[in-house]
Amino acid sequence: MALDRETFHAALVARHGAARQAKFDAARVAVCGLGGLGSNVSIALARAGVGHLHLIDFDRVEPSNLNRQQYAATQVGLPKAEALCANLAAINPFCDVVAETVRVTSENLAALLADDDVVCEAFDRAEAKAMLVSGVLEAFPEKPVVAASGMAGLASANAITTRRVAKRLYLCGDGATDVDDNLGLYGARVLVCAAHQATMILRLIDGADEP
């Protein structure tokens, strides 16, 4: 059965309250990187009824992604932005999704992210994370950034937290585990970190500024 927009929205208002849902409806969130973090963050935000999602990733779905990223085996080979856009449409057909297959660089990030209220850093390489976070905080005086550092391996999920580490920078993760240390990445633990990011993004949209 296809739901109409009014029924879908009424169900969100029933769970979240009209005032908070109105903030979610109006929000514009950029998700940079659509891997284990970004695909899960995007789904959590679409389910919450965030009105506008800007999905950005240059890569395609690979078999090695399927242990933790929200793609189907049938989507291997597709651009991640395109595949996730389709998956989000099945979850929340009323979310306004702009999906771009592009590599974010220090040169293009200001133009790419100009219209977004909140930026979610969801890359995998540490150097790319630092480039994006430093660039966004430098280019935009008001925009908050919710980033992730440390979710590799199978250590306790309880080590993963959200901290405010700079004026507009929120950092989710254990801050210590690095995928370069051959710890592996496990869907369940990456999902905990993604859930921290999604929760902080919803809190920022709602007007909170502490973790």
Contacts with other proteins by CB under 8 A lie at: 33, 35-38, 106, 122-127, 129-131, 133-135, 137-138, 147-152, 165-167, 169, 171, 173, 175-180, 185, 190
State how far the Cα of 56 lies from the Cα of 164, in Å rounded to an integer: 24
Residue 38 or 51: which CB sits closer to other proteins? 38
Residue 28 or 143: which CB sits closer to other proteins? 143
Rounded to a whole number of angstroms, the minimum distance from the CB of residue 94 to other proteins is 28
Rounded to a whole number of angstroms, the minimum distance from the CB of residue 8 to other proteins is 30
Residue 24 or 123: which CB sits closer to other proteins? 123
Residue 104 or 148: which CB sits closer to other proteins? 148
Nearest to 145 by CA among 137, 157, 154, 153: 137
Rounded to a whole number of angstroms, the minimum distance from the CB of residue 96 to other proteins is 25
Rounded to a whole number of angstroms, the minimum distance from the CB of residue 161 to other proteins is 14
State how far the Cα of 203 lies from the Cα of 198, in Å rounded to an integer: 9
Tokens, residue 185: 């990445």
With H, G, I as helix, E, B as strand and everything else as coil, classify residue 3.
coil
Rounded to a whole number of angstroms, the minimum distance from the CB of residue 131 to other proteins is 7
Q: Compute CA distances 113 → 53, 82, 144, 210, whole Å.
A: 11, 19, 12, 23
Instruction: Tell me which H or E stretch contains 195.
Output: helix 187-206
Residue 49 or 173: which CB sits closer to other proteins? 173
**Residue 145 contacts by C-beta under 8 Å, 6 or more apart in sequence?**
118, 119, 120, 121, 132, 133, 136, 137, 168, 169, 170
